[in-house]
Amino acid sequence: MLEKWLKKSSYTVVFTGAGMSTESGLPDFRSTKSGLWRTKNPQQLASTYAMQHNRDEFIAFYQYRIRALLECQPHIGHTILANWQTRGLIHQIITQNVDGFHQRAGSTNVIELHGTLRTVHCSRCKQTYDAKRYVDEQLKCTCGGFLRPSVVLFGEPLPHDAFEQAWTAAERADLWIVLGSSLQVSPANELPVAAKRGGAKLVIVNMEPTPLDDWADLLIHDRKIGEMLQEIDELL
């Protein structure tokens, strides 16, 4: 069914979440079995408050995440999506992930709703550096300002331009495919609703149920995304 919709759709959007990255070995945040937030309070580690008032733990948390990122690679699912984009089967990738795996696999014009962990930037002058500086304990800018990851922290809004571009894609979509998102984070989870209300078919692929499952035209649980995409790719 999905392969037929892909061939027919004039504007397909793929929306990826943490489940897309866990198949590369990165930990997720909200899964019931292994999510990081089961044992950690995000406000104490990944918030604007933590950056200001709990800086040692803030730094240690993001050093851990950057190290994990450097040890992992995009998986076959990322490669397939990049290939589909090249072939014109999908027209926009929107991600809640900050790992940059879509770009490393060859995708272009990826909308990153939550920023990127591939870089850090100065909280004072905004100069940008490679994130590896954090692992190397280089935590200050040449201007003396504190370097922070270029991700959206709890307490910060989503990047305005990125969300506007994503909303435009939602209004335009004929087919919206969710891959590995819990669809629990607002306002990002408003995007598939907007697409559905605009007439798009909604496909949700996620290991666990999501709050928007009742909205889906096709629902796939308990499947690895990479394997599922390989099966679809063989039918195209």
Instruction: Give the catalytic positions in this structure.
Output: 114
Q: How far is CA 134 from each of CA 49, 64, 122, 217, 220, rounded to the nearest angstrom? A: 19, 10, 12, 43, 38
Cis peptide before 187 (omega within 30 of 0): yes
Contacts of 44 (CB under 8 A, 6+ apart): 50, 54, 57
Q: What is the distance between the alpha carbons of residues 103 and 127, in angstroms, rounded to a whole number?
A: 22
Contacts of 34 (CB under 8 A, 6+ apart): 27, 28
CB 85 within 8 A of CB 235: no
Q: Please name the amino acid found at residue 60.
A: A
Residue count of the chain:
236
- Where helices occur in the chain by DSSP H, the ranges are 2-8, 18-22, 42-45, 48-53, 55-71, 76-87, 101-104, 132-135, 160-172, 190-197, 225-235
Beta strands 147-151; 175-179: pairing state: unpaired
Cα-based torsion angle of the residue sequence 230, 193, 211, 107 in order, rounded to the nearest 10 degrees: 30
Tokens encoding 181: 């998102």
